[in-house]
Structure 1
Amino acid sequence: MTIHEHVAEFAGLPVEDFQDLAGDPPPESGERVPEAGAVAWGVRTGFDEAPFPEVFGRFVENVETEKVTALVIGYWGASYDQGAADPVALLADAADRFPALRALFIGDIVMEESEVSWIEHSDITPVFEAYPRLERFDVRGSQEMRLKPIRSEHLKVLRFESGGLPAGVVRAVAASDLPALERLDLWLGTENYGGDATVRDLAPLLSGERFPALRHLGLENSEIQDEIAAAVAGAPVVARLETLSLAMGALTDEGAEALLTGQPLTHLRRLDLHHHFLTDPMVERVSAALPGVEVDLNEQEEPDDDWRYIAVSE
């Protein structure tokens, strides 16, 4: 799977690309400019276009940012590009201009702009310090990403889309204090692209001692999906979940067997296992074992000899 399209909707709002409104020439008279709080604003640059700090500066000066509730940060340049920027630093410095911001996505970058494994980050902790009332945070890419444990009374959704999520980031999430967190998605990826987290790193999440409001858990896109499935099969956190995703990874019959012989999963509304390497008999067994659960078993893959691949890597 590759990511070819920018998000069209974020946090329940349509995405409006700021470049469409602040280009040269400016919008024609009479062109509708949306209310600042009615859309999720997309701010991005492109190859051989204005440096991202310049685009972001125009956005801050030309939009009523005090009304903006959702923001999508797209391509900001690679390290070798003139004018490449650190979006986290820009956002942190401008925090006083965004008092109403509740949802933030850093990295709405498609394959034509950068492979997911090439998207370069920094320490993302300052985002949470600068915007303590964030309710949703999504990030794509993970190269050089760092994170310290965070605390938030308001964060409800936390998503990491990655071809290889560093173990340090996983451990920081697991050590965070997020009493309102309802949805957590970690695309763990492959070690070839920095995804070196182990099941041990996930233990605080699986114990159920963290995140009392958690109702959806996604441990996805992993080359160790069988090990994760075995750990999830006995994890106390599962009893409180409504939806569980072990999708996009290298899940085989071994992992599915662990799920079937572990704790009951019949309380779930949905179990997402799409992109898997289960055999036909096991697909039938899983479906039959969970008649009241919506089970996604699409994208049944065939291994290349003994190699089983995750959905999103490079």
Structure 2
Amino acid sequence: MAVHQHLQELHALPAHDFVPPGPGEEVPLPAADSVAWRIAYDPYGDTVRDGDFASVWQGFLETVDTTAVRALIIGSWGEPYENDSGAVVELLTSNTDRFPALEAIFIGDLVMEEAEISWIEQSDVTPVLEAYPRLREFGVRGGTELVFRPVRHEHLETLAFEAGGLPAEVVRAVAGSELPALKQLELWLGVGEYGGDATLEDLAPILAGDRFPALRSLGLKNSELQDEIAAAVASAPVVARLHTLDLSMGTLTDAGAEALLSGQPLTHLQQLDLSHHFLSDAMMERLREELGGAGVDVDLSDQEEPHDFDGREWRYVAVSE
């Protein structure tokens, strides 16, 4: 799972950590367009010589041929619970002329050892898409204080929001955006305790299938409403043109799986990801027979057992806090 390790690649490019060179030091670097550059400032690290994220960023601009850079991964920008991503957004949007080839950006590549996902303070990230009209991939981790406004973007193909609780306003903004080139959409919806207050009504425009004509991969995952989402997906028009459906990381039970099997045919899918689930052995076997037997790659890994909480069964999403 992504929250346990840093991104290994972005936009099909291997991740490479940028470390500012010391005075007079020459460090061999990969070709600027051959890697996804990870830029981060760890206030407790011993590999960063500069005093803040802005210093590391400036070192990157001075060291790397940014005109050829295709992908940027933004890691830690300081104490996560004291500094939001607003300064990062400002640095990205005020230097667009330095990145004419940029195609992919991920903001918030922090793992659990650095910060729980709910500690990551985000901001309004919409200006990044507005500043880079040729961007093809955009991802954000962390839902706290996250703002996203409806946008029109002609070239964006992949959009991902990873959160332990994704605000409903963000989901509605995604659903209200015009993204004619969007092929892959991934939303970690999370739980209400951490701000994940989106409802099926908020997801309805996405499920209706007329918002994103190029969409082929849809992830509505990490949700405490996973059964309800599965039931809605079972009759959702968008599913007919998908090749990948991801309902993983949530609280899916036999009820949700039954709805999927009883709804519209899913045998056209290449992949159905239901990993981290609360399905019975019998239901898992049915899914393997009815869908796997038809050629669908069904991921049923990470079978979970509900916890007993004051005499009641409690099911949990994969990522919340």
Establish whether TM, by shorter chain, passes 0.5.
yes
Instruction: Please say if residues 52 and 84 of structure 1, whose CA atoms lie closer than 8 Å, have aligned partners that are also in contact.
Output: no
CA-to-aligned-CA distance 1:148-186 (integer Å, 9 cap, x gap): 101111000111111110000000000000011000000
Q: After superposing the two structures, state which structure 1 stretch, 60-69 or 159-168, moved more.
A: 60-69
Q: Are 1:223 and 2:191 an aligned pair?
A: no
Among 278, 295, 300, the alignment partner of 1:297 is 300
Give TM-score scaled by structure 1 length.
0.95
1:20-39 to 2 correspondences below 5 Å: 22-24=20-22, 27-28=25-26, 31-39=27-35
Q: 1: CA distance between counterparts of 2:110 and 2:289?
A: 39
Aligned to 1:278: 279
Identity of counterpart residues, as a percentage? 60
Query: What is the one-letter code of the residue matched to 2:122?
Result: H
Task: Specify the alignment match of 1:234 in structure 2.
Answer: 235
Cα deviation per residue 1:241-272 (whole Å; 9 max; x = unaligned)? 00100000000011011101100001001100
**Cα distance, 1:89 vs. partner?**
1.3
Q: For each residue in 1:63-95, what CA deviation from the matched residue of structure 2 results, as whole angstroms up to 9, or x when unmatched?
A: 111111100000002366589862111111111
Aligned pairs for 1:8-87 (under 5 A) are 8-19=8-19, 22-24=20-22, 27-28=25-26, 31-48=27-44, 50-78=51-79, 86-87=87-88
Q: How does 1:1-314 map to 2 (within 5 A)?
A: 3-19=3-19, 22-24=20-22, 27-28=25-26, 31-48=27-44, 50-78=51-79, 86-290=87-291, 291=293, 292-305=295-308, 306-314=313-321
Structure 2 unaligned residues grouped into runs of 5+: none
Show structure 1 runs of 5+ residues with no match: none
Secondary structure (helix, strand or coil) at the match of 1:278 reads coil
Letter in 1 for 2:316: Y
* Counterpart amino acid of residue 24 in structure 1: G
CA distance in 2, matches of 1:82, 1:154: 31
**Mapped partners of 1:227, 1:112: distance in 2:** 33
Name the amino acid aligned to 1:3.
V
Q: What is the Cα deviation at residue 310 of structure 1?
A: 0.4
In structure 1, C-alpha distance between the alignment counterparts of 2:215 and 2:81, rounded to whole Å = 40
SS of 2:77's partner is coil
Q: Equivalents in 1 of 2:39, 2:168: separation in Å?
A: 29
Equivalent residues of 2:220, 2:247 under 8 A apart: yes
Contact 1:79 1:120 in 2 (8 A): yes
Pairs aligned (count): 310
Deviation at 1:144, TM superposition (A): 0.1
Code of the aligned partner of 1:257: E
Displacement of 1:24: 2.9
Q: Given residue 297 of structure 2, which amino acid in structure 1 is its aligned partner?
A: E
Query: Aligned-residue CA RMSD in angstroms?
Result: 1.7
**Deviation per residue, 1:111-152 (Å, 9 max, x gap):** 111111110111011001111110000111111000110111
